[in-house]
Amino acid sequence: MSYYNFKRIQVVPSANDFVDIILSKTQRKTPTVVHPNYSIGRIRQFYMRKVKFAQEAFNEKFQALLQAFPKLDDIHPFYSDLMNVLYDKDHYKLALGQLNTARHLVEQIAKDYVRLLKFGDSLYRCKQLKRAALGRMATLVKGLKDSLAYLEQVRQHLARLPSIDPNTRTLLVCGYPNVGKSSFMNKLTRADVEVQPYAFTTKSLFVGHMDYEYVRWQVIDTPGILDHPLEDRNTIEMQSITALAHLKAAILYFIDLSEQCGYSIKEQVSLFHSIRPLFANKPVLLVVNKIDVRRYEDLHGDEKQLVDSCLTDSVTLVQQSCWNDDGVMAVRNTACQKLLQMRVEVKMRSNKLNDVLSRLNVAQPQARDDKARPAFIPEKAKNRVKYDAADPNRPKLERDLEVEQGGPGVYSVDLKKKYLLANPDWMYDAIPEIMDGKNVADFVDPEIEERLAALELEEERLAAEGFYDSAPEEDEDSDMEDLKEAAEGLRVKRALIQQAAQIKKGKNRPAVPLGVQARSKTFVDLQSSLREVDMDPDVQSIRGRMAGQKRRRSAPAEMDADGDVEMSGGVASSSKPRAHSATRDRTNLGMSTKRQRTEAEAIKKRAEKQLGIMAKAGESDRHIHIKKPKHLFTGKRGLGTSDRR
């Protein structure tokens, strides 16, 4: 496997978090209730289970970390050397080795204390042995603080590394700093590599992808390299050296003949010769960049000899300029073609070629008889005159018709001239409009326009003669007026009833029961209600009904000349039960002005606000609501998930 996804490595917790995770898991996943009256065997088994579970949890966590991090001996040499450059191979192996050693030590501690727990003679002694076992495990893990912190830093950096496939088709760009490598990368791919006018803008490997010949290619931009011994190169330069040494790619060595990069041609050529051993068995292109400033043909004397010393049979000279895109695609095509040719040659020299050819069978067509079957070409196609734009008698094209009739935007293409109809005269007829299976034209009067024009003239004549002038209003019928007045009275009465209902509904006080309301009504109210519904109250029947009732203490009723009974005082007094006696509003007692009542109301609302927030019924409410539901926090859970935690 040559493609790695280092982003899948799980987070490495710190030493304290590591211990907290394991101890919390042990507490949640094992029983927590034990009593001194249990048998000693049950008590031993209780604490032995805790020690074994903690050991298994530590072992599982260590094993997951060891398997997640890549092993330098098992991965591709490119990634192995790259990790050695970035993280120091010895330090990396030492950190993983310490985790593996800690895993074995935790396992040994668990075995020793399980053996001692078998001889525990009391609950207290078993508990102390369990506590000592978990304490030693935690102390051992806390000693790995530096190693765990280092591995977490390595994990974060590995996740940021670009995904490079060492075996796919690759273009590798290298050279001195500030010679135009990143600009070339941005031109070919959609990668957004930072470009600045100073050295070492690119400090790590950058990967971009492009398509050529319907296949995917990767382009790698390497940091700049300086011409000094290998031992003096820093981490940034060693990333480029690692990529050049291990990737089977087409090498594009960039050189700046204008020397605007800050390095002379001699220094750039010297670097090419110093790293030339890394180009073995790889196609190499010497890319002359910035030709908008200075081209290869402009060199003279020693400078041209220096550049020519780099050119051999395996090195091809190409020129380009990223400033005006001159030659960029030509450089890309040349590099891709040379790499494809080299890959084909390598496969042809491999031992697998014969095995593949033995499984291939190329079918060759065989003649079934001696009869000749030449290709058929229609005579019209043979005699067709070739189109010549300079011929005045050439057939007109749509483009010619467009030019003759006003040009684009004016000319409208005639789509009907190619219709194949039984009668050519039908070609430009209006297409009928069909609705519900019927032709709309069959239902249109052909003289509708003339009739409409005559109607408009007649309307204008009548308007000019004053036919449509407003006539005096006739007296409305008296019955209609009475009906309108009655309707208006009903609307007013309905509005009053609705208004009274709204006022009654909006009262912020207890409603008076209907029974109490009935007892408080007087004889005058009864007569008024009867008259409102156009009923004449029968005084004799009312008097007879009242005579049969028990006499109450009240003022004597008087009857006027019309027979209406009138109570003295206007309201009949009646004795009311004590339970329905009116109560006084005590909220306004002791307050003489409206301002005092307003301030008192504001103080009352502020005092009740906190009670409302705490959901209190009043000042005397001392109830404490349940903070932890007992059914969720009591006892141990059985089998199931721990998602809610």
Q: What are 356-391's pLDDT values in tens digits? A: 777 888 888 888 898 998 999 998 888 888 888 888
Q: Give dist(CA 412, CA 444) in Å, integer.
A: 30
Q: Give dist(CA 591, CA 604) in Å, integer.
A: 14
User: Is there a contact between 553 and 573 (Cβ–Cβ < 8 Å)?
Assistant: yes
| DSSP single-letter state for residue 280 | T
What pLDDT, on the 0 to 100 scale, is given for residue 643?
Answer: 53
Q: Give the mean model confidence (pLDDT) for residues 559-588.
A: 50
Domain 6-160 and domain 170-350 have a common topology: no
Q: Give the mean model confidence (pLDDT) for residues 455-464.
A: 88
Alpha helices (H) along 439-564: 448-465, 478-505, 514-520, 523-532, 539-547
In this predicted structure, the answer to whether residue 92 has a pLDDT above a threshold of 90 is yes
Between 211-220, 312-321, 477-486, 622-631, the lowest mean confidence (pLDDT) is in 622-631
User: Is there a contact between 186 and 195 (Cβ–Cβ < 8 Å)?
Assistant: yes
The amino acid at residue 76 is H
Helix H or strand E encompassing 435: strand 434-435
Q: Give dist(CA 317, CA 266) in Å, integer.
A: 17
Q: What distance lies between CA 540 and its chain's CA centroid?
A: 87
Between 128-142, 291-305, 442-456, 463-477, the lowest mean confidence (pLDDT) is in 463-477
DSSP string, 106-142: HHHHHHHHHHHHTT--SHHHHHHHHHHHHHHHHHHHH
Q: How confident is the model at residue 561 (pLDDT cuts 50, 70, 90)?
A: very low
Query: Is domain 170-350 classified as CATH 3.40.50.300?
Result: yes
DSSP string, 360-372: --------SSS--
Q: How confident is the model at residue 636 (pLDDT cuts 50, 70, 90)?
A: low
What pLDDT, on the 0 to 100 scale, is given for residue 239?
Answer: 92
What pLDDT, on the 0 to 100 scale, is given for residue 545?
Answer: 61
Query: What is the signed CA dihedral for 499, 504, 506, 512, rounded to 10 degrees?
Result: 180
Query: Is domain 6-160 classified as CATH 1.10.1740.10?
Result: no
Chain length of the chain: 645
What pLDDT, on the 0 to 100 scale, is given for residue 574?
Answer: 46
| DSSP single-letter state for residue 413 | -
Q: What are 32-65's pLDDT values in tens digits? A: 999 989 999 999 999 999 999 999 999 999 999 9
Q: What's the chain's average pLDDT?
A: 84
Helix H or strand E encompassing 149: helix 145-160
pTM over 0.75: no
> Checking DSSP bridges between strand 565-567 and strand 170-175, what pairing results, if any?
unpaired
Helices 40-68 and 123-142, axial angle in degrees (round to 10): 10
Q: What are 578-621's pLDDT values in tens digits? A: 555 566 677 777 787 888 888 888 988 888 888 888 778 877 88
Q: What are 190-207's pLDDT values in tens digits? A: 888 888 888 788 889 999
In this predicted structure, the answer to whether residue 543 has a pLDDT above a threshold of 70 is no
Beta carbons within 8 Å of 87's beta carbon, 6+ residues apart? 154, 157
Percent of the chain scored above 90 by pLDDT?
A: 41
What pLDDT, on the 0 to 100 scale, is given for residue 563?
Answer: 41
The single residue listed with the structure tokens 């030693």 is: 136
Tokens, residue 510: 């207890």
- In the chain, where are the structural domains located? 6-160, 170-350
What pLDDT, on the 0 to 100 scale, is given for residue 536?
Answer: 66
What pLDDT, on the 0 to 100 scale, is given for residue 90?
Answer: 93
Q: What are 284-324's pLDDT values in tens digits? A: 999 999 999 998 888 888 888 899 898 888 899 999 999 88
440 or 629, higher pLDDT:
440
What pLDDT, on the 0 to 100 scale, is given for residue 486?
Answer: 86
What pLDDT, on the 0 to 100 scale, is given for residue 633?
Answer: 63
What pLDDT, on the 0 to 100 scale, is given for residue 554?
Answer: 47
Q: How confident is the model at residue 569 (pLDDT cuts 50, 70, 90)?
A: very low
Q: How many CA atoms lie within 13 A of 50 on its CB side?
A: 26
DSSP string, 185-197: HHHHSS------S
Q: Give the mean model confidence (pLDDT) for residues 104-125.
A: 95
Tokens, residue 416: 């009907």
Q: Give dist(CA 444, CA 364) in Å, integer.
A: 72
Helix H or strand E encompassing 78: helix 77-87
What pLDDT, on the 0 to 100 scale, is given for residue 558?
Answer: 46
